[in-house]
Amino acid sequence: MPYKVSVKNQDIIYDIKKNSRSKNLRLSVRADASVLVTMPKIFPKFMAKNFIIKQADWIFDKLAKFKDIKKPLLNNIDYHKKKAEARKIVLQKIKELNRNYNFKYGTIAIRNQRTRWGSCSSLGNLNFSYKICFLPENLQDYIIVHELCHLRELNHSAAFWKLVERTVPDYLVLRKDLKKHKF
């Protein structure tokens, strides 16, 4: 059940999730403008309200950032089409770009990741957001090379960035540009 509190003449609608494993109050603001307070089961609900009031400026800042982001809204059919399109792009580009490295990798998955363009597991599995298909090709290449290089270096050390630079010499510019393309 959503709760509401008014701060600085603005309403904040929030949900409370009680978790037996939580030890502290935790606040999250999602791109859909939903606010969630996760708290220990033993805490009374008024603590969530007080926490929201105390963190109101931070919440307003996050909500403002999400308003500035233009993101495509997809229905289920369009989502699956875009996911298939992203899979085709990623598989083709991995085949091309991995020629420079010849890295061995596990499975390749396309997901609806909320906070990452891609990831690489310690088992060598590569995951990419379906939203990669909305990006310009040079940024797609950068993301894929970035994750491929994690197959050798599971960190962001100097050695990792040298590997990236081998294929994407302007990675610093692209990395900065990618930050403009938020979810």
The number of folded domains in the chain is 2
The angle at the Cα of 95, spanning 92 to 99, to the nearest 5 degrees, equals 145
Q: Is residue 37 part of a domain?
A: yes
Q: pLDDT tens, position by position, for the chain (183 residues)?
A: 789 999 999 888 899 999 988 899 999 987 667 899 999 999 999 999 999 999 999 999 888 877 765 555 567 788 899 999 999 999 999 999 999 999 999 999 999 988 899 999 999 999 999 999 999 999 999 999 999 999 999 999 999 999 999 999 999 999 999 988 876
Tokens of residue 92, six digits: 């083709």
> CA 153 from chain center: how many Å?
21
d(CA 118, CA 132): 9
pTM above 0.85, yes or no: no
Pair (47, 107) in one structural domain: no
Pair (88, 172) in one structural domain: yes
Pair (50, 129) in one structural domain: no
Residue where a domain terminates, one of 25, 45, 68: 68
User: Domain residues for 101?
Assistant: 76-178
Pair (34, 94) in one structural domain: no
17 and 37 in contact (C-beta within 8 Å)? yes
d(CA 89, CA 132): 9
95 and 115 in contact (C-beta within 8 Å)? no
* CATH code for the domain in which residue 155 is found: 3.30.2010.10
Q: Is residue 183 part of a domain?
A: no
Q: Count the Cβ atoms, other than its own, within 10 Å of residue 93.
A: 19
